[in-house]
Structure 1
Amino acid sequence: MIRCLVVDDEAPALLILADYISQVPFLTLVGTTTNPIEALTMVQQGQADLVFLDIQMPKLTGLQFLKLAGSKCKVILTTAYPEYALEGYENDVVDYLLKPIAFERFFKAAQKALALLPATISAAPAVSTAPAIAPPAPPATSHMFVKGESKNKFLRVNHTDILYIEGLSNYVSIQLPTQRVVTYQTLKDLAETLPQPPFLRVHKSFIVSLDKIRMIDGNTIYILDKEIPVSETYREQLYRLIREA
């Protein structure tokens, strides 16, 4: 197992990453902390193999942490600031995750760490006739966390509650039965994190839940009283899924 430590000055970010770690079979959580000095001490004592590390923190920034930790552990940077990516890779980080972090993207980073930290996994026999075992598939998730209107606010959205999602430039509007959630994220990035089906992109500005469609009339989908256009690009896939349902 890869021993993981999460370091972030925002408590909601700690909860999200701790939840993600619990869903990956080859990761185990040894601690979470908002104090980078405490985290550095744990790393120097050999208590963690992999650190999920925020960059913008008081007392000690993530980049300063990297220099002090040296080769004591592997690091995956987690931040809302893309401008630090180059400097992060120059410090030999495993990966660079931009908040809000989707589980699928997190899992890809974890697999990179697994490839770099074979010594932390039970060693295989020198000679074996057993068939090769495929890498574990990411566990299915039933929810996601999206960033709210304030710095430390993250909202949990259950997939089964989503009616449709509308893209608004660099924001998306997630329509739920009793409320609308607007978060800073592109529709393209969000589409990559949602299970397909039931979710399907039907227009450059819309993703729908097939389970919530009330009616389809030509190139228009009806979900409750909302009329959602279907573009020619996605029309064939929509009708194929309907025929297979």
Structure 2
Amino acid sequence: MIRCIAVDDEAYAGRLLAAYIEKIPFLTLAGLTTNPIEALQWVQEGRADLVFLDIQMPELTGLQFLKICGHRCKVILTTAYPEYALEGYEHDVVDYLLKPVSFDRFLRAVQKAQALLAPATPAPPVASPAAPAPAGGYLFVKGDSKNKFMRVSHADILYAEALGNYLALHTANQRLVTYQTLKELADQLPQPAFLRIHKSYLVAVDKISMIDGNILYIGQQELPIGETYRESLYRLVRE
């Protein structure tokens, strides 16, 4: 069961989140407050696994909250302001929900949180001599300022995750968030060394440790396999 706290200075917005939480079998509401300082104390006491956090609050903004609480729990941002998305993802938030939050969008966000909070199970490596190794090379991804670009070697990439118009590029040592779509990234990478496995995920084929039904493992990280991409993945593995 994932213990949740909803923090929003608008009481009706918090009550909506609380109602959504109560509809999900694997969530439980551990706290509901309009006071971010009270919520921060709850987090520091270890009372929450997942926080639904507003950004614009008078005593303490959501971004200030993130800086103080560090990585004690997972956070889903809820706000009416899309311009904070990039900064939010730089704090490694699970998702970014724009108000008014619909239930189906809420459900997708908490499913991502559930995957991240599930206990990791060691996955044995898959024997796949036919899997192509990434071609030598590199790419540059845009950073968090106008003329900042970061070089990333193809061999270092584990997988990429779509975040709306942004994406998170996961390597062995870091997670880079950049303003780019997953399709644009796929067009830059060599094929078939990198493969789309889901509308939201692209993986380095030689980093796959196991495939189990509709779940693919990169090390201990579980990624879903989308129906549209399943056949091409299985064909590559069989060959």
- TM-score normalised by the chain length of structure 2: 0.50
Bigger Cα Rg: 1
- TM-score normalised by the chain length of structure 1: 0.49
